[in-house]
Amino acid sequence: MKTMHPELTYATIHELSGRIRSREISPVELAEQAVARIEQVNPSLNAFVTVTAELAMEQAKQAEQELMKGNYKGPLHGIPIVHKDLYYTKGIRTTASSKILKDFVPDYDSTAVAKLAEAGTVLLGKVQTHEFASGTTTNSVHFGPCRNPWNLERVPGGSSGGTGAAVASGIAYMGTGSDTGGSIRIPAACCGVVGMKPTYGRVSRYGIVPMGWSLDHAGPLTRSVLDASLSLDAMSGFDPKDESTVNLPAPGLKMEYAESLKGVRIGIPTRYYYDNVEADVLTAVQAAIAKFKELGAEVVEVELSKIGYARSAASAILMGELVAYHEPWLESRPEDYGADVRMMLESGRNLPASTYLQAQRARHLVVQDFLDALSGVDVLLTPATPLTAPTAEDFSRTLRLAEFTMPTNLTGLPSLSMPCGFSPEGMPVNLQLIGRPFDEATVLGIGYGYECNTEWHLRHPEL
């Protein structure tokens, strides 16, 4: 084992990429360090379902050889990452943290996995999700609970909790997530990292175990907004295997906002998003709003008159689509589901078709409502979650984690979850920026401008 470099544990992709390209740092050294970090902290976190240490070392050696030949693939070349265990990985089991798929080994990669491999990433392994992505705790009955690196008694959020824990704890520099009701942005908030849910259609969902076809989004979790942009660029693009994808160039990021947010208009919804927010979260988000004003942004109130329909409509659509996917297993293997997921599926079976259709009609009203609100501003700013990470046993609070994220699964709008403070107990707080369709560059750029002038993303858990 080569010499470890502790200062690299919490480095960002942007910081590492130049040093890798100049050969100051070897991808092999970075992979060795990441594997050692898994051995050091994963016994406490239980983030991994499958560790692919040998594959990681092979890929790191290949990346090093490519770099020595001058074949630099871009900023993700040689970067150790993880994939949520919903993403199909050829020859590596994809369990969805379930008993039903515990031995399932795909014979192809999902499109997002293939794109990230083409970018030169190094795969450390597959990480936990709430069973079939159907919850906010990642408290797996089949593989054991995944824990929050800031407090092992708290949940890491869900359903991409394994990714959030792995990125926040200094194991992986980036990880994939999927987001149907907030499953990228909630773990980002609970673990104090950055999570980007792109516009519906920006990233292919082909080869990802679905939860709700019309609500599912794929995207990255990272340690910085700039890293989220680099990762999203690699994941984005038209895919003929996913008819929802669009043929647009990678979004990038508006770098000019790092200098000033003057001229930026930020909308603060007057309804829903600031109701029933716990004090620790509200204090941090209000301080962030004040910081945006200090940086030159104009903050205005906006009206979302139809927001009251959003969560019930999204829930009805989700239940109908979720049950449609699981119906064969519900018939043949109901006992193999965890109790919480089985209860959800059984209740979804009783959903009338008329309710699903009415929810789809309400969806159009909510979409237009958001577009109207965004017509006079660049982004909307809200808390990412109404509370900090709870314990798994605090059921009433875990149920609330998706309140502020689910509306933009319904609308498909790009939404960024990023650090903006901590509670007195030392738990992370994230804000959420919501933008216009396919305007990730503005959402990420404004987030980057805030990040460049604050230090919340530089704080890391002491494991």
pLDDT, tens digit, 9 for 90 and up, residues 98-149: 999 999 999 999 999 999 999 999 999 999 999 999 999 999 999 999 999 9
Give the three-class secondary structure for 107.
Answer: coil
| Both tokens assigned to 218 | 């794929």
Cβ atoms of residues 415 and 408 within 8 Å: yes
- Residues 170-194: b if buried by 16+ CB within 10 A, e if exposed: bbbbbbbbbbbbbbbbbbbbbbbbb
Which tens digit of pLDDT belongs to each residue from 329-359? 999 999 999 999 999 999 999 999 999 999 9
| Predicted local confidence at residue 7, as pLDDT | 83
Given a cut of 50, whether residue 1 has pLDDT beyond it is no
**β-pairing, 428-434 with 379-383?**
antiparallel
183 pLDDT above the threshold of 50: yes
Q: Are strands 80-84 and 139-140 parallel, antiparallel or unpaired?
A: unpaired
* Nearest-angstrom CA–CA distance, 327 and 26: 48
Convert the pLDDT of each residue in 232-251 to its tens digit: 999 999 999 999 999 999 99
- Residue 104 DSSP code: -
Residue 374: its H or E element: helix 353-374
Q: Name the token pair of 153.
A: 């008694």
Nearest to 81 by CA among 128, 34, 114: 34
The 3-class SS string of 246-307 reads CCCCCCCCCHHHHCCCCCCEEEEECCCCCCCCCHHHHHHHHHHHHHHHHCCCEEEEECCCCH
* Residue pLDDT, tens place only, 17-73: 999 999 999 999 999 999 999 999 999 999 999 999 999 999 999 999 999 999 999
Give catalytic residue positions.
84, 159, 183
Mean pLDDT of the chain: 97
Q: Are 333 and 304 in contact (CB under 8 A)?
A: no
- Considering only CA atoms, which of 398, 185, 404 is closest in space to residue 276? 404
Preceding peptide of 423 cis, ω within 30°? no
**At residue 4, does pLDDT exceed 70?**
no
* 85 DSSP assignment: T
Q: Which two tokens stand for residue 14?
A: 């942007």
DSSP reduced 3-state for 378: coil
Domain 6-458 annotated CATH 3.90.1300.10: yes
Dihedral, 406, 409, 412, 417 alpha carbons, nearest 10: 60
Question: Domain map of the chain by residue range?
Answer: 6-458
pLDDT tens, residue by residue, 88-112: 999 999 999 999 999 999 999 999 9
d(CA 247, CA 215): 20
Residue type, 151: N
Asked if 329 contacts 132 with a C-beta cutoff of 8 angstroms, the reply is no
Considering the entire predicted model, what is its pTM?
0.98
Q: Please report the pLDDT score of residue 3 as a whole number.
A: 54
Quick one: residue 307, left, alpha or beta (phi over 0 = left, psi -120 to 50 = alpha)?
Answer: alpha
Instruction: Give me 334's structure tokens.
Output: 């109901």
Torsion of CA 356, 361, 363, 368, to 10 degrees: 180
pLDDT at 463: 83
Torsion of CA 19, 21, 23, 28, to 10 degrees: 90
CA dihedral 126, 131, 136, 141 (to 10 degrees): -100
- State the pLDDT at residue 277: 98
Beta-sheet pairing, 48-51 with 174-179: unpaired
> Residue 188 corresponds to which tokens in the numbers above?
């980002």
Distance CA 386, CA 401 (A): 7
Token pair recorded at residue 274: 């600031």
